[in-house]
Amino acid sequence: MSKPSLNANTSKPSRDPGLQPERTGLAWSRTAFVVLINAVLIARSGLTHHELIVTAAGFLMLAAAAAMYVYGSVRTHHLARLDIPVTPSSVTAMRLLTALVILGSGAALYMAIGALAVRFL
């Protein structure tokens, strides 16, 4: 058996232009849906316990979930037309998403600590 030879004229295989935009769109819509569910739970918890900070965080996350869904649609169409997978706007969107997750985690942690403090004090 001979080893396959490397041909200098062989180019790299191009990325799959059909499936990558679809995967990106699905990932953004799933992420937006998960953020939406968490935002509803956080906002409901804040409204139930009359916590203004938690309620505001929940409504901010609701707005961000809608923005994520819209951005995912735009990003999907952008990837389908261009061959540039990473753009400055996609990096900014990922940074904002990270900040949003930290905000939601902080709100949930605030509610959990508050519930424990009420029980033990």
What is the total count of domains within the chain? 1
Residue 7 lies in a domain: no
Residue 5 lies in a domain: no
- Whether 87 is in a domain gets the answer yes
pLDDT(5) > 50? no
State which residues form the domain around 91.
19-120
A 10 A CB-CB count for 1 gives 3
CA distance 7 to 63: 53
User: At CA 98, angle to CA 93 and CA 102, rounded to 5?
Assistant: 145
Amino acid 21: pLDDT: 73
| Residue 10 maps to a domain | no
Rounded CA separation 4/111 (Å): 61
CA gap 73, 24 in Å, rounded: 9
Whether 3 is covered by a domain: the verdict is: no
The enclosing H or E element of 98 equals helix 88-120
The whole-model pTM stands at 0.65
Please state the rounded mean pLDDT for residues 15-23.
69
